[in-house]
């Protein structure tokens, strides 16, 4: 019952956020030079065409009415038509989104798998050389622009060492992407680097905080060994805040995918978006922003729900 | 050499950012099997450090010297693996804060079973069965079902029972209890002390009890060691130390402990203050049928239910109750910080809820406030002078800087603080000094009403006594009324003319302090008073027996 | 009262070391401070000592290897690379600093109002923040770049507008705690105004949180400036910034002209690291919570 109440409230919240996002995107659409008409008809449209279009589409009506019209279109899954690729934006996104998800999810998993043990190890060896070395490395990883890191990796691993190809797997379907796993290595590693940096810092901080908690002392007073305390108690307690942070990190992952896809020529949404930006294909640009934002909202919703499952206190409505 | 704990010439030094701080110097003590030694002292005396040293649990920045031996094992020289074998089996520990002592994400049964399996080679099922049995022994109802509860699902007292179950899981020879009841309400404290006493007696366990509470000492201990600034100044049998102290510090400490007068002829009553009713003055603040609810929907909590109380000019009303009784909420309603859902609040005869703007400010200018936490009550970024002058800046905007400085100096003198303190920051002050600065701030506008919410409960007894004396004297001098919120019946008895007992958001009973506390009208108040331990071992033993005879059924 | 008797009456025995000392103990943070100072000297004083022409192209001097005449070689239009590093650094540092501070200011105002007001005002304001966070900044920047090419002031405003969300969250959380502090309650109980509570207690006590947030924000903004040129939003030639140099040198890197990407790349990494290390040191010294 409690869970149901929580879920309804949380989903309602997410819907409000998505509504605000649509307002922002709608605002951007109207900020375009020449307004949405030029955005949709393309740069070659004549003034007459624009006037006609504006009237047909109700664009000469007041903004709030137009907004409602825009919302109704969205509800029907209509994101407009790309005028360079001549295809429905929703179709394009449908084809590309799964591939971007593959990339981001793999990067996230790799990032967490590395970051969590690293952070714990740092906390245990706090202020020892290993801690300083990893801290410095994570600062460097965090501070390196993704495209620079990708470039360095490409130069080292494809030009000098020739271990991996410099292109990501091509192919139109997810199955084709997985058919060439070697080619996925560099894009995924590039996407995961800053995540390792950020989450090892979080994990280090959370572990340190938990190591100083009273329950650790209670466990020690009961004769538990340091290692057992670390893995049985501290690990789980430190993980919950890190999971909560994951929700906030989803947009960063998508931002990273934008650059990685462009760098490795990976045909996902990032590359679609990039191409649309070069050709001022506004319906595609705004459609992608909308979908990415919704994906982000859903991602943080999932992170919250997972945290609730892991942490019984949240379920009880306490913490 | 059959002592279960033997500490010889223990010294502990903490290395901190500002250099080495000695915490314990030359402490020697022993605990025999089956006896309870109480280590008493005020905060900073080093008593908890001794307790931690007994199990080798000192934090990393501590350096210890001397000898500690538990059941024949040398703790100081032991490796971490040897210590792990000792902890939880030969010696175990109960801590002060039950709210944080348990892993919040692990079921309590599992946490107890972990201690069992740390030391004995039993299967998971056997350990789980033992955990349930231990829960039953510490008085948790339906132990099999409760074993799968998470700590947050238990009350503070129940959590402390779980910690005790972990401590006794392997029948240790030594139990170290560091302020085991300090975070608990008195009625729960009495139950926990009864439990510890019974468990220790059953198995002949030696107990090292660390506490600041002389009532707990009188209730529980066989022998007492008094600590001051890291050293033991007096040791002896509990009757000797509590009734015939020899060291000057012990005497001073005992004199400062507020004693609950339990008989009319008893020595209690201290400064006696106002006995009987003088409810003649005009009402200063009045709550009429006030109800308060926090939150909305199914999660809403009713904090107050139809609470009515009145404070009249010049009188002191004590508002007492256990945690969750609503006493602080009632005080906040009186201050206009919490809006009641229904009912009326009048301050100086005017309706506080209807007053707006200038009129409201004029009303509030007559109120002074002192809250509990000496650390949080002053803004650390302001000087003492700025803190005290804040009400003047709010209500006497025309006042010149010189005049203000003069007024601040006057008030600081009233609360017996030197003028020079005005330039200092709150961080440089002690807890007692801070509370006196809070008091100075509350009195700077010469209020007609002082609301004090647990103003001394975070302070050591000696400091508490000074602060209470200052308030009493100033009240006689300035004639303000006082609404005094406290959980400590002894303090209220000393200090308030009238008392309002609260329970679960309702007023349980109210009346003149002496008659209400000596002849309580309700079973709850009777139980509350019976649970307060008095710092006299002989008297306390009688009270305990009477309490146990009177109400085993009442406790649950 | 002497320290002795202070201890006797159970008073806090620890006097925390001063802020400076605590910061100085964090060696990474001190190194970071040093790096930032050196880079500012390099970019703003350096051109006085090592003077180069960064306005006019010189097609006789293109793609030269590092040598005695050009310490870091020259780029594809003949600019001296070391001089260009100073020239571009000015833009990167100034835009990063200004955008970071702007983002912190917006975030502080938004977060403190939301946190102090509470209730539905807070709920609405925070949903707006959620929405802002949900739209990845890089995507917004790329859309903006498709619409327009801003100058330096426009760039600062755009970067400030996409990055105020995190500081607003931090400041809101801080405000929520501070407004329940006893000294704020006491002030409210005796009739002090909201304005006074905010101005005299809440903002001054949030300063440490805000300063720490600002330091991290500057680090992020410098990094974002580096992305901006890559996305095609950057300052226009002949002006440049480190990100512009880096993306201009991307193709050159494949033909072995490492000196066109390694210096700007390292400069970005070093400066961003340095600001992050300073933020880390300040956070520990102030003992505030914030970004892990």
Cross-chain Cβ contact C268/A285 below 8 Å: no
pLDDT at A314: 58
- Number of domains present in the structure of chain B: 2
Cross-chain Cβ contact C140/A289 below 8 Å: yes
Cross-chain Cβ contact C250/A33 below 8 Å: no
Q: Which residues pair with B318 in a beta bridge?
A: B484, B499
Cross-chain Cβ contact C292/A17 below 8 Å: no
Least Cα separation, residue A2 to chain B (angstroms)? 9
Q: pLDDT by residue for chain B (556 residues), tens digit each? A: 478 999 999 999 988 777 888 999 999 999 999 899 999 998 888 899 999 999 999 988 889 999 999 988 899 888 989 999 999 999 999 998 888 899 998 999 999 999 999 999 999 999 999 999 999 988 898 999 999 999 988 888 899 999 999 999 998 999 999 999 988 889 889 989 999 998 888 888 999 999 999 999 999 999 999 999 999 999 999 999 999 999 999 999 999 998 888 765 443 343 444 444 455 678 999 999 999 988 776 667 888 999 999 999 989 999 999 888 899 999 999 988 888 988 989 998 888 878 888 888 888 999 999 988 878 889 988 899 999 999 999 998 888 889 999 999 999 998 888 888 888 888 888 888 899 999 999 999 999 999 999 888 888 888 888 889 989 989 988 889 999 999 999 999 988 999 999 998 999 999 999 889 988 989 999 989 999 999 999 999 998 888 888 765 444 3
Instruction: Specify whether the CB–CB gap between B345 and B290 falls below 8 A.
Output: yes
Assigned domain for B433 exists: yes
Assigned domain for B266 exists: no
Can you list the residues of chain C whose pLDDT is less than 70?
Answer: 1-18, 288-292
Q: Look at residues B444, B442, B468 and name the one whose alpha carbon lies nearest to residue B457.
A: B468
pLDDT confidence of A110, banded at 50, 70, 90? very high
Assigned domain for B238 exists: no
Q: Which residues of A touch C158 (CB under 8 A)?
A: none
Percent of chain A having pLDDT more than 70?
92
B162 and B288 fall within a common domain? no
Assigned domain for B419 exists: yes
Cross-chain Cβ contact B377/C201 below 8 Å: no
B197 and B288 fall within a common domain? no
Non-local (6+) Cβ contacts of B549 within 8 A are none
pLDDT confidence of A317, banded at 50, 70, 90? very low
Helix axes A89-124, A269-278, angle to 10 degrees: 120
Assigned domain for B349 exists: yes
B105 and B25 fall within a common domain? yes
| β-pairing verdict for B350-351 and B316-320 | unpaired
Instruction: Specify whether the CB–CB gap between B530 and B215 falls below 8 A.
Output: no
Q: 91-150 in B: which are within 8 Å (CB) of A?
A: 92-93, 95, 97, 100-106, 111, 114-115, 118-119, 150
B86 and B168 fall within a common domain? yes
Mutate to test the interface with C, among A139, A152, A191, A244 (most CBs of C within 10 A): A139
Q: Which residues of C touch A292 (CB under 8 A)?
A: 135-136, 139
Distance, in Å, from the CA atom of B165 to the CA atom of B102, rounded to the nearest integer, reads 12
Cross-chain Cβ contact B103/A233 below 8 Å: yes
Distance, in Å, from the CA atom of A58 to the CA atom of A55, rounded to the nearest integer, reads 5
Q: Look at residues C290, C284, C292 and name the one whose alpha carbon lies nearest to residue C21.
A: C284
CATH number of the domain bearing residue B329: 3.40.50.300
Domain that holds residue B363: 283-522
Name which of A218, A228, A311 is nearest B101 (Cβ-Cβ): A218
Distance, in Å, from the CA atom of C57 to the CA atom of C238, rounded to the nearest integer, reads 9
Enumerate chain C positions whose Cβ falls within 8 A of a Cβ in A.
28, 127-128, 130-140, 142-143, 145-148, 219, 223, 226-227, 230-232, 243, 246-247, 250, 253-254, 261, 265, 268-270, 272-273, 276-277, 291-292
Instruction: Specify whether the CB–CB gap between C99 and C159 falls below 8 A.
Output: yes
Distance, in Å, from the CA atom of A18 to the CA atom of B524, rounded to the nearest integer, reads 54
Helix axes C182-189, B431-443, angle to 10 degrees: 20
Altogether, the residues listed in chain A come to a count of: 319
CATH architecture assigned to A96-281: Orthogonal Bundle (1.10)
Cross-chain Cβ contact A140/C127 below 8 Å: no
Indicate if the pLDDT at residue A248 is higher than 70.
yes
Specify the residue for token string 């000792």.
B86
B28 and B134 fall within a common domain? yes
pLDDT at B124: 93
Take residue B451 and report the two structure tokens written for it.
């609301």
To which H or E segment does residue B16 belong?
strand B5-16
What is the domain partition of chain A in residue ranges? 96-281
B197 and B54 fall within a common domain? yes
Percent of chain C having pLDDT more than 90?
24
Cross-chain Cβ contact A251/C265 below 8 Å: no
B287 and B217 fall within a common domain? no
pTM of structure: 0.84
pLDDT digits (tens, 9 = 90+) for C259-270: 888 888 899 999
* Number of CB atoms found within 10 A of residue C45's CB: 11
Assigned domain for B118 exists: yes
Lowest-confidence segment of A38-47, A250-259, B12-21 by average pLDDT = A38-47
Least Cα separation, residue C124 to chain B (angstroms)? 18
Distance, in Å, from the CA atom of A54 to the CA atom of A82, rounded to the nearest integer, reads 18
DSSP state of A148: H
Over range A249-264, report the average pLDDT: 87
- The b-or-e profile of B99-131 (16+ CB within 10 A means b, else e) is ebbbbbbbbbbbbbbbbbbbbeeeeeeebbbbb
pLDDT digits (tens, 9 = 90+) for C51-61: 777 777 777 77
pLDDT digits (tens, 9 = 90+) for A190-225: 989 989 998 998 899 899 989 888 899 999 999 899
Q: Which residues of C touch B433 (CB under 8 A)?
A: 1
Q: Which domain-ending residue is among B167, B201, B221?
A: B221
Take residue A152 and report the two structure tokens written for it.
């360095």
B224 contact A CB<8A: no
Instruction: Specify whether the CB–CB gap between B32 and B4 falls below 8 A.
Output: yes
Non-local (6+) Cβ contacts of A105 within 8 A are none
B203 and B289 fall within a common domain? no
Q: A60 vs A21, which has greater pLDDT? A: A21
Query: In chain C, which residue's Cα lies nearest the Cα of A205?
Result: C292
């Amino acid at each position: 019952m409690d869970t149901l109440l929580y879920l309804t409230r949380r989903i309602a919240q997410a819907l409000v956020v998505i509504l605000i996002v649509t307002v922002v995107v709608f605002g951007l659409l109207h900020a375009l030079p020449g307004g949405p008409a030029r955005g949709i008809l393309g740069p070659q449209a004549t003034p007459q065409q624009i006037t006609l279009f504006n009237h047909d589409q109700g664009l000469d009506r007041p903004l709030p009415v137009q907004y409602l019209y825009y919302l109704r279109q969205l509800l029907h899954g209509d994101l407009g038509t790309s005028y360079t690729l001549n295809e429905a934006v929703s179709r394009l996104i449908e084809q590309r989104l799964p591939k971007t998800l593959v990339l981001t999810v793999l990067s996230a998993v790799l990032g967490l798998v590395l970051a969590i043990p690293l952070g714990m190890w740092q906390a245990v060896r706090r202020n020892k050389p290993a801690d300083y070395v990893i801290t410095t490395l994570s600062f460097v990883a965090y501070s390196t622009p993704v495209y620079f890191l990708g470039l360095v990796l490409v130069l080292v691993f494809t030009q000098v060492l020739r271990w991996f190809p410099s292109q990501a797997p091509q192919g139109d379907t997810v199955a084709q992407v997985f058919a060439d796993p070697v080619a996925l290595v560099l894009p995924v590693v590039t996407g995961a680097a800053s995540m390792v940096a950020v989450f090892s810092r979080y994990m280090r901080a959370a572990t340190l905080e938990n190591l100083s908690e009273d329950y650790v002392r209670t466990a020690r007073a009961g004769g538990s060994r340091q290692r057992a305390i670390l893995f049985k108690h501290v690990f789980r307690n430190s993980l919950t805040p890190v999971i909560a942070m994951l929700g906030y990190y989803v947009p960063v992952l998508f931002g990273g995918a934008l650059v990685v896809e462009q760098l490795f020529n990976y045909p996902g949404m990032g590359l679609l978006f990039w191409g649309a930006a070069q050709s001022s294909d506004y319906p595609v640009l705004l459609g992608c922003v909308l979908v990415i934002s919704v994906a982000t909202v859903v991602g943080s919703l999932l992170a919250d729900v997972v945290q609730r499952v892991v942490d019984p206190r949240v379920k009880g409505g306490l913490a | 050499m059959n002592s279960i704990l033997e500490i010889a010439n223990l010294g502990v030094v903490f290395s901190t950012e500002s250099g080495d701080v000695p915490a314990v110097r030359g402490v020697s003590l022993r605990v025999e099997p089956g006896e309870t030694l109480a280590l008493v002292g005020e905060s900073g005396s080093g008593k908890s450090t001794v307790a931690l040293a007994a199990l080798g649990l000192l934090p990393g920045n501590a350096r210890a010297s001397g000898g500690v031996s538990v059941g024949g094992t040398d703790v100081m020289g032991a490796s971490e693996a040897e210590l792990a074998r000792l902890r939880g089996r030969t010696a175990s520990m109960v801590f002060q804060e039950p709210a944080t002592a348990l892993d919040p994400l692990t079921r309590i049964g599992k946490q107890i079973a972990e201690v069992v399996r740390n030391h004995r080679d039993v299967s998971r099922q056997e350990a789980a069965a033992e955990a349930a049995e231990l829960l039953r022994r510490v008085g948790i109802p339906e132990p099999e079902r409760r074993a799968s509860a998470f700590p947050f699902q238990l009350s503070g007292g129940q959590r402390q029972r779980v910690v005790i179950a972990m401590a006794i899981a392997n029948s240790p020879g030594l139990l170290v209890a560091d302020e085991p009841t300090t975070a608990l309400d008195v009625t729960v404290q009495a139950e926990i002390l009864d439990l510890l006493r019974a468990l220790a007696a059953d198995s002949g366990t030696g107990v090292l009890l660390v506490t600041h509470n002389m009532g707990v000492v009188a209730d529980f201990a066989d022998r007492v060691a008094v600590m001051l600034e890291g050293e033991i100044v007096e040791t002896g049998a509990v009757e000797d130390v509590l009734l015939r102290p020899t060291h000057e510090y012990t005497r001073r400490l005992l004199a400062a402990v507020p004693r609950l007068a339990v008989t009319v002829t008893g020595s209690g009553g201290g400064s006696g203050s106002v006995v009987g009713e003088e409810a003649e003055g005009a009402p200063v603040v009045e709550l009429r049928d006030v109800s308060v609810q926090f939150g909305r929907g199914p999660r809403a909590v009713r904090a107050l239910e139809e609470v009515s109380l009145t404070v009249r000019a010049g009188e002191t009303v004590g508002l007492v109750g256990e945690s969750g009784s609503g006493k602080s909420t009632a005080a906040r309603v009186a201050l206009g910080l919490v809006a009641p859902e229904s009912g009326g609040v009048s301050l100086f005869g005017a309706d506080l809820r209807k007053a707006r703007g200038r009129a409201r400010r004029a009303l509030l200018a007559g109120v002074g406030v002192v809250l509990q936490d000496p650390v949080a009550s002053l803004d650390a970024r302001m000087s003492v002078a700025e803190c005290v002058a804040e009400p003047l800046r709010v209500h006497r905007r025309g006042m010149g800087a010189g005049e203000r400085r003069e007024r601040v100096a006057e008030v600081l003198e009233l609360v017996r603080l030197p003028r020079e303190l005005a330039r200092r920051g709150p961080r440089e002050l002690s807890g007692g000094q801070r509370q006196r600065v809070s008091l100075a701030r509350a009195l700077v506008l010469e209020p007609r009403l002082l609301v004090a919410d647990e103003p001394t409960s975070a302070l050591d007894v000696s400091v508490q006594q000074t602060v209470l004396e200052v308030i009493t004297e100033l009240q006689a001098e300035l004639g303000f009324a006082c609404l005094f919120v406290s959980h400590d019946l002894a303090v209220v008895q000393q200090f308030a003319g009238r008392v309002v007992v609260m329970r679960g958001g309702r007023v349980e009973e109210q009346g003149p302090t002496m008659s209400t506390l000596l002849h309580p009208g309700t079973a709850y108040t009777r139980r509350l008073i019976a649970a307060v331990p008095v710092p006299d071992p002989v008297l306390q033993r009688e009270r305990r027996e009477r309490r146990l005879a009177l109400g085993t059924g009442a406790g649950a | 009262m002497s320290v002795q008797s202070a201890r006797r009456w159970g008073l806090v025995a620890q006097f925390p070391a001063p802020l400076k000392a605590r910061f100085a103990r964090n060696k990474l943070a001190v190194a970071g401070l040093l790096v930032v100072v050196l880079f500012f000297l390099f970019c703003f004083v350096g051109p006085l000592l090592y003077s180069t022409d960064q306005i006019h192209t010189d097609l006789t001097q293109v793609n030269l290897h590092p040598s005695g005449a050009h310490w870091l070689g020259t780029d594809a239009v003949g600019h001296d690379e070391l001089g260009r590093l100073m020239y571009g650094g000015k833009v990167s540092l100034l835009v990063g600093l200004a955008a970071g501070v702007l983002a912190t200011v917006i975030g502080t105002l938004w977060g403190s109002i939301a946190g102090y007001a509470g209730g539905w005002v807070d709920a609405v304001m925070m949903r707006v923040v959620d929405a802002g966070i949900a739209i990845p900044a890089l995507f917004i920047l790329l859309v903006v770049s498709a619409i327009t090419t801003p100058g330096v002031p426009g760039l600062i405003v755009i970067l400030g507008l996409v990055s105020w969300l995190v500081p607003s969250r931090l400041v809101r959380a801080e405000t929520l705690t501070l407004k329940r502090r006893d000294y704020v309650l006491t002030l409210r109980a005796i009739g002090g105004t909201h304005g006074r509570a905010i101005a005299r207690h809440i903002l001054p006590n949030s300063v440490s949180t805000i300063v720490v947030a600002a330091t991290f924000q500057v680090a992020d903004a410098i990094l974002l400036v580096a992305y901006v040129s890559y996305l095609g939003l950057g300052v226009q030639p002949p002006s440049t910034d480190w990100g512009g140099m880096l993306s201009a040198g991307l193709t050159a890197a494949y033909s072995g002209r490492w000196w066109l990407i390694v210096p700007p790349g390292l400069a970005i990494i070093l400066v961003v690291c340095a600001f992050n290390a300073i933020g880390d040191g300040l956070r520990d010294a102030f003992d505030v919570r914030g970004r892990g």
